[in-house]
Structure 1
Amino acid sequence: MATQSAPVGRRRGARSALLVAAALLLAGCQSVPGEQRPDQGEPARPTADAAASAVSFAPLRGTPADAAAMAHPSLAAKIDNHEAARPQIALNRTDLVFEELVEGGITRYVAIWHSDIPDEIGPVRSIRPMDPDIASPFGGIIAYSGGQEQFVEMMMATPLVNVVFDYDDTGLFFRGDERPGPHDVILRSAEAVSRNSSLAPPPPQFAYGSADPLAAPALVATPTSRIDLVFSDARFPAWEWDAAASVWLRSQEGALDLESSAERVRATNVVTLRVGIDWSYGEVPKTVMIGSGEAWVSVAGRTAHGTWAKDAADTPITLTADDGSPLRLAPGNTWVELVPGEGSATFTP
């Protein structure tokens, strides 16, 4: 039987599409101070308080990596998720993707690349008020196409290097001829990282365990074959567990979600967070990232429940299981679903 969150409310007026009621699920993206060791028998993996210079695992994936190969900054980018922007470029090469609600009931992504930097990424779109709180813990570079002046100023105030299409006269961005505007802005991502190679690599954001980190009975993880999420009437992505490939496979609005390589979008870990929405910016919803809430981690065909917490804009998200232990992820890429409290999340065994 599917487990579904209870209705919470509906969206208001012109603010965007009607949001469906309910709860979310998450499994955050961060390491837990003092509790960053993996399951017994696993090699030591990176932790949020580990020195970036000593990394022997990819800090944003937890996979084995040569430290010298990781000695470059991460690249975060605001990626379009309008229907006309699909298929996006190189989503399956990300370390992390955050999906967030924006105006009109649609979603956009803050995607982060570090362990595998593509030549190009996109389509790149404009910044939103929650993005400084999402991107700041990674340091490095943030790329976007522009945005309201107040939101651009908020991002410019962070320590990140801002790479902005509206201000670029160096050739880092171009418009893809095969895509309709404004969903056509592409970033030469490898070049952007190369120009900023002296920046520090990102600190780890997660606690990692084995390939099946939720197996401990104390976590009370439940078998999960499918995750259905509702951000609004316009956006309801889903993830299906592919046991043969050991990955979650993504759909959007009932259709397979494909990236530009023609591969289906996939993730090792799906983390769902219950988040509040701040409507003080008029029609632009701001996902509330500083605080705490309910979380679910889905990995290896299981889902465990817990809580998330984030103390400040520049600190990572901490994930804690219901038994008080760290919620660990499996080594690999992760999608973090920031589902609003008026949305819903359903996990089907």
Structure 2
Amino acid sequence: MGRDRGVRRFGAALLICAVGIGLLSCSGPTDPLPTETPTPTRARPASDIVPVPIAYAPLRGTLADGAALAHPSIGVKIDNHEEARPQIALNRSDIAFEELVEGGITRYAVVWHADVPDEVGPVRSIRPMDPDILTPFGGPVAYSGGQDVFVEMMMSTGLPNLVFDYDETGLFYRADDRPGPHDVILLAKEGVGRYLELGPPPTQFVFGGTDPLADPAYAAQPTSHIALVFSDARFPSWDWDAATGAWLRSQEGVPESEASGERVRATNVVTLRVGIDWSWGEVPRTVLDGGGEAWVSAAGRTAHGTWSKASREAPIVLTADDGTPLRLAPGNTWVELVPNEGGVTFAP
């Protein structure tokens, strides 16, 4: 019995050793135990970590590097004569306004901030509604010239005015491959760089998710086609392209592309009914003091509401029929300033 007890003790010792060896290594021979305590690796102090300042682009509602947004926007008068097409870098803009000018044609007041191109154009002259459109953004405004009274109106806003007619710094040039006067090109990024002390623009619209009008309270209607009539000479349209999640632009029934070859597109189309003031003779002035009827088209839907603007410096406020803010999807926006006498149609 004593011998059996000794055998059992020896077997138990072997078992304990086997378990210990197994804990050290489950495959192959074990490494020798360290004779010195290893020096622990020093953790990187928080002060050495440089965070990326993420922010929302104020005019697009999209996430971006905050440091890359720390500059002003630039508003530019862009030509829309047939001989001015294709325009440069429209798809990189944050907000583009289409306005009626003399002869029944339209021009654009375009604002770039989140993605300022090296060059934009063709640049054309200022009109009496442009101070009301561009003042709320607070950045420099570029145009080719204009009637003295309209230039004085724009100068009186206090915004930096970059004017081709007066420029002696090389900020503008004439493109050899474009017919005059539709050939003036602006070095936009350089223009912005001259006024970094102004800082970024304030937010203009309220943004929601990628389908901001899905809430039944908006009573938004499915929309595949937007048809607008400014005059007999200008009747742009937009078609919803679900594959790209964008509205695609046409003019007078012809698909419109920009100079890059890309189809002109928008995440949001905001349509405003506006009055026209003919106090300036043949030059119409879009009336933006007050308010009127509005529609927001985003993610293949259109919701109805109203717009208002309290002052020249104030942004346009969009309100749904239920009294809540009309929200836009994150991305670029086109604002169509359609005269009350014009046409607005939304097809399902």
Tell me, yes or no, whether TM beats 0.5.
yes
Q: Distance in 1 between matches of 2:320 and 2:190?
A: 40
Quote the offset at 1:55 in angstroms: 8.1
Instruction: Specify the code of the residue in structure 2 equivalent to 1:321.
Output: A
Residue matched to 2:225: 226
Quote the offset at 1:159 in angstroms: 2.3
Q: Tell me if 1:276 matches 2:275.
A: yes
Residue matched to 2:19: none
* Map 1:117-128 → 2, pairs under 5 A: 117-128=116-127
When the two structures are aligned, how many residues end up with a matched partner?
A: 296
Residue matched to 2:166: 167
Residue matched to 1:6: none
Q: Distance in 1 between matches of 2:337 and 2:56?
A: 26
Instruction: Specify the code of the residue in structure 2 equivalent to 1:172.
Output: L
TM-score normalised to structure 2 length = 0.84
Residue matched to 1:38: none
Instruction: Specify the code of the residue in structure 2 equivalent to 1:313.
Output: R
Pick the structure with greater CA Rg.
2
Q: Distance in 2 between matches of 1:328 and 1:160?
A: 28
Residue matched to 1:37: none
Q: Distance in 2 between matches of 1:213 and 1:194?
A: 34
Q: Tell me if 1:90 matches 2:73.
A: no
Structure 2 gap segments, 5+ residues each: 1-52
2:154 is paired with a residue whose SS is helix
Instruction: Specify the code of the residue in structure 2 equivalent to 1:122.
Output: G
Q: Distance in 2 between matches of 1:196 and 1:184?
A: 25
Instruction: Specify the code of the residue in structure 2 equivalent to 1:91.
Output: L
Residue matched to 2:78: 79
Residue matched to 1:41: none
Residue matched to 1:202: 201
Instruction: Specify the code of the residue in structure 2 equivalent to 1:187.
Output: L
* C-alpha distance after superposition, 1:41-93 (max 9, x if no partner): xxxxxxxxxxxxx9820000000012211100000000000000000000000
Q: Tell me if 1:337 matches 2:336.
A: yes
Residue matched to 2:261: 262
Q: 1:309 to 1:111 in 2, by over 3 A?
A: same
Q: Distance in 1 between matches of 2:101 and 2:186?
A: 22
Instruction: Specify the code of the residue in structure 2 equivalent to 1:239.
Output: W
* C-alpha distance after superposition, 1:189-236 (max 9, x if no partner): 111111222212100001000000000001100000000000000000
Instruction: Specify the code of the residue in structure 1 equivalent to 2:297.
Output: S
Q: Distance in 2 between matches of 1:196 and 1:327?
A: 32
Q: Distance in 2 between matches of 1:265 and 1:160?
A: 29
Whether the aligned pair in 1 keeps the contact of 2:54 and 2:63 (CA below 8 Å) is no
Residue matched to 2:181: 182
Quote the offset at 1:158 in angstroms: 0.5
Q: Distance in 2 between matches of 1:342 and 1:292?
A: 16
Residue matched to 1:348: 347
Instruction: Specify the code of the residue in structure 2 equivalent to 1:236.
Output: F
Residue matched to 1:26: none
Q: 1:55 to 1:160 in 2, by over 3 A?
A: farther
Q: Distance in 2 between matches of 1:143 and 1:252?
A: 25
Q: Distance in 1 between matches of 2:341 and 2:330?
A: 31
Q: Distance in 2 between matches of 1:135 and 1:243?
A: 31
Residue matched to 2:238: 239
Q: Distance in 1 between matches of 2:139 and 2:338?
A: 26
1:263 is paired with a residue whose SS is coil
Instruction: Specify the code of the residue in structure 2 equivalent to 1:181.
Output: G
Q: Distance in 2 between matches of 1:140 and 1:224?
A: 34
**Which one has a larger percent helix, Structure 1 or Structure 2?**
2
Residue matched to 1:153: 152
Question: RMSD of the alignment, in Å?
Answer: 0.9
Name the % identity: 72
Q: Distance in 1 between matches of 2:64 and 2:91?
A: 18
* C-alpha distance after superposition, 1:304-328 (max 9, x if no partner): 0000000100000000000001000
Q: Distance in 2 between matches of 1:305 and 1:194?
A: 39
Q: Distance in 2 between matches of 1:321 and 1:222?
A: 13
Following TM superposition, where does structure 1 have runs of at least 4 consecutive aligned residues deviating by more than 4 angstroms?
Answer: none
Q: Distance in 2 between matches of 1:119 and 1:229?
A: 31
* Map 1:60-79 → 2, pairs under 5 A: 60-79=59-78
